[in-house]
Amino acid sequence: MPSLVLASYLLVLALLSLYGLHRYWILLLYWRHYKRAPRLAPPPVPAEWPRVTVQLPVYNEFYVVERLLDAVVALDYPRDRMDIQLLDDSTDESRALAATLVEKKRADGHDVRLVQRDNRRGFKAGALDNGLKLSDADYVAIFDADFLPPADFLKKTIPWFGDPRIGMVQTRWGHINADHSLLTRLQALFLDGHFVLEHTARNRSGAFFNFNGTAGVWRRRAIDEAGGWNADTLTEDLDLSYRAQLKGWRFLFLPEILCPAELPVDIGAFRDQQHRWTKGALQVAKKVLPTLWRSPLPWFVKLESAVHLTANLAYLLAILFAALLFPSLLARRALGWPLWATALEGVAFALTAFSIALFYGVAH
């Protein structure tokens, strides 16, 4: 029994250490491919701006839907080349408010369309897919209800699609209320680590990275060739991202373009968000990793994708590590565990813990 306990503890520690080493790897990629490399030169402005559909999926967003619409109709883009879809699946009083706001914007000369469904089949993925059926635009920009895209958003992102290989352009999330509380400050720190370090490192090194569900623009053809929006995972954005890249489409991350957003201010909303992201990523891993491993992609892309999609397992491993720590101490005593082995364990744990501090310190 002591041997089994100690073996389980060491296995958990080894797996945690691998995820910790991966943070160092991301920092190395970030340094090599971004900090030491010149920034991407802005692409030329197209001779004629292409048609863009802006999709705004909302659900019971009474207090922010007007702010969202105000920001989107203020986008600096030819009016005859842009249409806006308010994809409203609301079930409360915001449903009537959305109708009033859309009528007002249309009266002001904006091409805004209200799309309301009788059911929420497919949730956000279903709403986006339903909206696509009503659009003939070549490009689709997506913003969640708590985002405020800057006026020059489209004119800074659309030119990058001059490269016919680009299927999606993702921008960096900003934080309107980062200083509201300790919770929002921590969220801002975690998100900056994800965008500034992970997205930059993966994108610049040629690995797969993902559309974050908002503050990005898709080429319609990339969505269609990947099979469209699916609702069989909780993270439809991550799912579509991997399917599109497996089809050969390239993605681009532009950290210099900031799209401000409001962070959840209560622990309940934050917990629900994290649960959705964690479970959804593992669902996507189960769905796409077998296909990815069988593909002719470089081993680096395959390995990085596997770590990316399973990274949330580190939280479960941390819980198991804490649960096994005390029993492992008793097992060491029973087995006469040598001091040098214990010292090696301590080094592995320290390096893993330090990787977290270093990672988010650099992001900050």
Digit-coded pLDDT (tens) for 85-123: 999 999 999 999 999 999 999 999 999 999 999 889 999
Cα distance from N-terminal residue to C-terminal residue, the chain: 45
Listed as ranges, residues in the chain with pLDDT below 70 are 35-38
pLDDT for res 150: 98
Per-residue model confidence (pLDDT) at position 38: 61
Give the Cα separation of 49 and 126 in Å (integer). 28
Residue for token pair 């370090």: 197
Q: What are the structure tokens assigned to 163, written together?
A: 């490269």
Distance CA 320, CA 68 (A): 43
**How does 241-250 read in b/e, with b if 16+ C-beta sit within 10 Å?**
bbbbbbeebe
Which of 254, 245, 248 lies closest to 153, judged by CA?
254
Q: Which of 319, 360, 279 is nearest to 23 (CA)?
A: 360
* Residues 115, 130 contacting (CB under 8 angstroms): yes
The whole-angstrom separation of Cα 87 and Cα 114 is 6
* Element housing 168 (H / E): strand 166-175
Confidence (pTM) = 0.94
Alpha carbon separation from 177 to 58, 212, 260 (Å, rounded): 20, 19, 9
Euclidean distance between CA atoms 82 and 50, whole angstroms: 9
- Catalytic positions, written as ranges: 89, 237
Question: What is d(CA 183, CA 356) in angstroms, rounded to the nearest whole number?
Answer: 18
Distance CA 17, CA 23 (A): 10
Residue 18: predicted pLDDT: 93
Domains and CATH numbers, the chain: 15-36+310-363 (no CATH), 52-299 (3.90.550.10)
33 to each of 36, 39, 316, 357, how far by Cα in Å? 6, 10, 31, 22
pLDDT tens-digit map of 29-52? 999 887 666 677 789 999 999 999
* Torsion angle, alpha carbons of 298, 299, 300, 302, to 10: 100
Which helix (H) or strand (E) covers residue 174, if one does? strand 166-175
According to the model, what pLDDT value does residue 36 have? Answer: 65
Please name which of 186, 189, 194 lies closest in space to residue 170, comparing C-alpha atoms: 194
Burial class (CB in 10 A: 0-12, 13-18, 19+), 199: buried
Identify the pLDDT of residue 337.
Answer: 75
Q: Are residues 32 and 207 in contact, defined by beta-carbon separation less than 8 angstroms?
A: no
The b-or-e profile of 120-140 (16+ CB within 10 A means b, else e) is: eebebbbbbbbbbeebebebb
Residue identified by tokens 């209200």 is 114
Q: C-alpha distances in angstroms, 212 versus 183, 195, 288, 317? A: 21, 10, 17, 25
In sequence order, what are the residues at sequence separation of 6 or more whose Cβ sits closer than 8 angstroms to the Cβ of residue 210? Answer: 170, 237, 238, 241, 242, 251
Summarize pLDDT for 225-256 with one digit per residue, the tens: 999 999 999 999 999 999 999 999 999 999 99
